[in-house]
Structure 1
Amino acid sequence: MDYREVASEQEFVARLGHGADWRAEIESLADDEDADAAWFIAMGAVQDADIWYYDQDEKEYREVQFDEPLEVASCVGNISLLDGERFAHTHAVLSRRSGQTLAGHLDSATVFAGELYMRTFEEPLVRERDQPTGLDLWL
């Protein structure tokens, strides 16, 4: 296991813009505040969603699209640098009207309503390709 101590820098609460892209809103806050490392949680609702599942054998993401209103029961993720750009690594548990849940890597979604808490860190987190997994992970 690789780990390091991080020092907290700032904390923010935000309301995501109706009709905006969920992940892009989080990245926009990180850009506005020059945050190269952060942890966030969020909740709300989306009008649609693209969820990715990582196929560990093929070492590639599989996309599943949902064109329906969904509740964001839980959303967690982090901000890091990927290829020099701020990237919001976002996972979510979404629920349908029936209560059935969907979960995975949230690539994109159209915000109906969203509330976000973000804590930034002083030192940047940088992602690079990890050979054993094929994923872009923190250094």
Structure 2
Amino acid sequence: MNGKRRLPWLSMAAALGAVLGAEVALAQAPARAPLPDGFMRAPPVPKGRAPQVRITEKQGTAHVFDAIFSPGDEILSGLTDLARERGIASGYVTGLGGLSRALLGFGDPELGAFARIDVDEKCELVSLVGHIEMREGEPYVHLHAVVSLKDGSTKAGHVFELPVAPIAEISVVATSFSDAKR
């Protein structure tokens, strides 16, 4: 045989070796126990499933404020005061703590209003997230919260009132400032 006829056989042998090597590697991987009903393992995250996402890149230095709220303090009011007094024009909010109650809402865009979600008991603020932006020349604090009740159930929604009991720890990452006094 000449060299030209051996080349395809060498390529096929290399491909077969790669396939067999992969099968051996899979066979040596530790077997995973079957999962109970209702459970799943995290699958790989698929690419390209958010073709309409808009990304905005912001560069600069952030300034962090840690706000420790005491019993009776109302979080939305306190954060709005902080933004006004420090001239925060944009930023991000996160936090947790204890509440005496909560007033949340579920947005209905057709009505242009919120369905009330009253939590009239002691609850835990297990997740507070939001942002600060300027609206009509004033800082606007937009928050959403998840609160946990004594029985472990949760309620969540747009924040209207979060009175603290006994303490709440909130972080504000200010990303830009207005001309107001800092």
Give the TM-score of the pair, scaled to structure 2. Answer: 0.62
Q: Which residue identity is paired with 2:175?
A: F
Instruction: Summarize the alignment of residues 18-37 of structure 1 with structure 2, pairs less than 5 Å apart.
Output: 18-37=71-90
Matches within 5 A, 1:23-102: 23-102=76-155
Aligned twin of 2:38: none
For structure 1, which segment, 36-45 or 48-57, has the greater mean C-alpha deviation from structure 2 after superposition? 48-57
Q: What's the RMSD between the two structures over aligned residues? A: 1.7
Aligned counterpart, 2:170: 116
Whether 2:159 is the aligned partner of 1:106: answer yes
Quick check: 54-63 or 107-116, which moved more? 54-63
* CA deviation profile, 1:12-37 (whole Å, cap 9, x unmatched): 11201320211111112212221011
Q: In terms of Rg, which structure is larger?
A: 2
* Structure showing the higher helix proportion among its residues: 2
Which region of structure 1 is more displaced relative to structure 2, 107-116 or 52-61? 52-61
Gaps of 5+ in 1: 125-139
| C-alpha contact (below 8 Å) 2:68/2:168 kept by paired residues | yes
Structure 2 residue aligned with 1:133: none
Please tell me whether the aligned partners of residues 6 and 122 of structure 1 are also in contact (alpha carbons under 8 angstroms).
no
TM-score (norm 1): 0.80
1:78 and 1:93 mapped to 2: Cα distance? 16
How many residue pairs get aligned? The number is 124
Q: Distance in 2 between matches of 1:83 and 1:23?
A: 18
Query: Contact (CA 8 Å) 2:84, 2:138: kept in 1 or not?
Result: no
CA distance in 1, matches of 2:127, 2:104: 14
**Residue type at the aligned position of 1:70:** C
**One-letter code of the match for 2:146?**
V
3-state SS in 1 of match to 2:77 = helix
User: Which structure would you say has the larger RCO, counting Cα contacts within 8 Å and 6 or more residues apart?
Assistant: 1
Alignment partners' CA distance in 2, 1:105 and 1:8: 29
- Aligned-residue sequence identity (percent) comes to 23
Structure 2 portions without partners, runs of 5+? 1-53
Give the Cα–Cα distance (whole angstroms) in 1 for the partners of residues 127 and 109 of structure 2.
24
- What SS does the corresponding residue of 1:5 show, helix, strand or coil? coil
Q: Which residues in structure 2 correspond to 1:123-138 (within 5 Å)?
A: none
The residue type equivalent to 1:119 in the other structure is: V
After TM superposition, give the deviation of residue 9 of structure 1 in Å.
3.0
